[in-house]
A and B are shown apart, each in its own frame.
Chain A
Amino acid sequence: MSYVNFVKKYKLEIAMILPLLLYILGFTIYPIIQTITLSFQDQYTKAFTLANYREIIGKTEFKQAFFNTIALTFISLTLEMTVGLVIALILRRNFRGKGLLRSLMLVPMGVPTLVSGVAMTYIFGLYGYFNALLQKLHIIEMPVDWASGGFKTLLMVSVADMWKVTPMVILLLSAGLESIPDEVYEASNIDGATAWQTFKYVTLPLLKPSITMALILRAIDAFRIFELVLVLAGRATPVISTFAYDEYRNYANVHTSAAASTILLLIIAVFIVSYLKIAGTKEER
């Protein structure tokens, strides 16, 4: 079929899909190209340069932000996947009150990320509920300043992130569990496998594709973490996105901000490619 005929035959379809395509091209692809271009431009002469990258890599804040982003992703993912898996396994059973418990566990989905950050500031504040609880249990004497930076701030942000996204992990893993046929469990039951053995040798291997997908999707989100860190940790604990924002808003430097964004983009691209690789091999099977 010639090009003209194709257009003639599908002119309605083309008209229907074109606005969406153009918008994505103009408002997503083009800005990303612009960001990458800006990151390689000299601030004054607009000539090609690597100076922006050199500048941010030389900054302590960026090194911190880079390390924090990776540490946060690692801690949050470990927490979320563990808790999410345990709850998804529990919700696979049938027991009285399951519907109510399930609804309650999905409550964080109905809370905007920004608001979850606000609620966490009341819990992890210097005179917040968590310090008060630890003091009542005589675990600590003096209140801990969770937002002062370092590992404890990373832990606080990870817990906040975990609270917000564990429901999503539960849903992702539940969908994976549902796809495991009951016969498999019956067979392992007949063979006299214990609960732990069933989990280790039946559930976990069969759930591995869902876990991998959930991990990659969650990792992409965790690398982009922005408002939670902004609200909870301020500038004491930067991540790559808050660093990029800071460079733009407070130092008015578009080019270094773009360089930080480009690095983030690169990390995410690596994850997207690995997702495609895994999804691809799954399909071939």
Chain B
Amino acid sequence: MREVNISEKISKVAYIPIAIIAAILMVIPVYILFMTSFAVPSDILKPHPDFFITRFTLDHWRSVLASGNLWPPFRKSFVVATITTIIAIVMAAPAAYVIARMPSKIKYPVVLSLFFTRMFPDVGIALPIAVQFIRLNLMDTYLGLVMAHLIVNLPFAAWILVGTFETIPKDLEEAALVDGTSKLTALSKIIMPIALPGIAVTAIFVWLNSWNEFTYALYLTISDRTLPLQIYYYVQRGGIFDSATYAAILTIPVMLVTFFLQKYMKSGYLAGAVKG
């Protein structure tokens, strides 16, 4: 009987405090990260670091922005993410359309295989790729990294886009075909415009995946680092303020986009997309 009473109480009253505490705990690490990037070193580098800082400084941001160590990795990450996105969409969108229109007996296994190609361990794929790229002189190149990022993002993009194309009724293109339009025109004039919002959301997710990507970049880089590798470099060197500032720079676009695209964050999109 006692257990029952407690459960009643929890379900009637305690859930709001629990929710508030959980929400606070979810935000604290992000707060600490950004706060550290604006903190005066003597407030942080002590046995009991301040949680609420009263003094702010732009020194870390200024020194990172002026150091010349930010822009080359930033440019590499930005350019690689952008090219990866363009190629991924151009290759995945037509394929996804075809898959979406397959008879469901074939479609189900195809979609499932796409899903599971993303489940393979990155270290297992990156290893032979790195060995190959050393031979082909593709280490440290933008092209090499784009090719590697496509490994993760092509099945990801195709998988999401199959869902997008499935929502477009088949009658639309059939009507167009009856009117004598060619398949290709029906596709480009009727289907693609309707699918455009879905394609745009997919493109953004692909861009973020590539922007954040760490494992392949680590395997395929000797000296020309990406932004995530630059963060790792400062973490290894123990530069708290440098790593906090670089991490903040990497995080800002991701947070903004994730916040605005929250309604697209359906469970299906993300299952297996977030790696440990």
Contact B214 A20 (CB under 8 A): no
Q: Which residue of A lies closest to B234 (CB)?
A: A118
Are B7 and A161 closer than 8 Å at their CB atoms? no
Chain B residues with CB under 8 Å of A110's CB are 251, 254-259
Contact with A along B236-276 (1 / 0, CB 8 A): 00001001100100110011111100100111101110111
Contact A226 B215 (CB under 8 A): yes
Residues of B47-101 contacting chain A, CB below 8 A: 47-49, 51, 91-92, 94-95, 97-99, 101
Complex interface: stretch among B125-133, B171-179, B194-202: B125-133
Q: B218 in the interface, Cβ–Cβ < 8 Å? A: yes
Cβ B247 vs Cβ A109 within 8 A: no
Contact of A195 among B8, B20, B244, B262 (CB under 8 A): B8
B32→A20 contact, CB < 8 A: no
| Cβ–Cβ < 8 Å partners of B32 in chain A | 119, 122-123, 129
A153 at the binding interface (Cβ < 8 Å): no
Contacts of A199 in B (CB 8 A): 7
A13 interface contact, C-beta 8 A: yes
A132 within 8 A of B: yes
Chain A residues positioned under 8 Å from B48 (CB to CB): 127, 132, 135-136
For A124-161 the 0/1 string (1 means CB < 8 A from B) is 00011100100110000001000000000000000001
**CA gap between A183 and B1 in the complex, in Å:** 26
Q: Answer yes or no: A120 CB below 8 A from chain B CBs.
A: yes
Q: Which residues of A contact B259 (CB under 8 A)?
A: 103, 110
In the complex, A199→B267 CA distance in Å?
22
Contact A115 B231 (CB under 8 A): yes
State whether the Cβ of B190 lies closer than 8 Å to any Cβ in chain A.
Answer: no
Q: Is the CB of B116 within 8 A of A245?
A: no
| Complex: A1 Cα to B48 Cα, angstroms | 76
- Provide the bound-state CA to CA distance between A197 and B20, in Å: 25
Known: A28-B151, A90-B18, A196-B3. A224 touches B131 (CB 8 A): no
* CB closest residue in chain B, given A143: B47
Give the number of residues in B that approach A within 8 Å (Cβ atoms): 93
Q: How far is the CB of A139 from chain B (nearest CB, A)?
A: 14
Query: With A and B bound together, what is the CA distance between A253 and B27 in angstroms?
Result: 41
The answer to whether B119 touches A119, judged by C-beta atoms less than 8 angstroms apart, is no
Q: Would you call A93 and B183 a contact (CB within 8 A)?
A: no
Question: What size tier do the contact residues of chain A reach?
Answer: 35 or more
B121 touches A224 (CB 8 A): yes
List B158-215 residues whose CB lies under 8 Å from chain A. 158, 183-184, 212, 214-215
Given A121-B235, A231-B235, A272-B119, 9 new contacts (CB under 8 A): A106-B265, A110-B257, A111-B254, A114-B214, A123-B29, A195-B8, A227-B215, A241-B121, A248-B130
8 A-B pairs (CB sep. < 8 Å): A28-B155, A106-B26, A121-B235, A122-B244, A127-B45, A220-B272, A264-B121, A272-B119
Instruction: Point out residues on B near A: beta carbons under 8 Å.
Output: 3-4, 7-8, 10-12, 15-16, 18-20, 22-30, 32-33, 36, 45-49, 51, 91-92, 94-95, 97-99, 101, 112, 116-117, 119-125, 127-131, 147, 150-151, 154-155, 158, 183-184, 212, 214-215, 218-219, 228, 231-232, 235, 240, 243-244, 247, 250-251, 254-259, 262, 265-268, 270-272, 274-276
| Across the A-B interface, the 6 shortest Cβ-Cβ residue pairs | A110-B258, A196-B7, A225-B276, A261-B124, A195-B11, A16-B94
| Chain A positions near chain B (C-beta within 8 angstroms) | 12-13, 16-17, 19-21, 23-24, 27-28, 31-32, 34-35, 38, 76, 83, 86-87, 90-91, 93, 95, 101, 103-123, 127-129, 132, 135-136, 143, 161, 163-168, 171-172, 174-175, 194-197, 199, 217, 220-228, 230-231, 241, 244-245, 248, 254, 257-258, 260-262, 264-265, 268, 272, 276
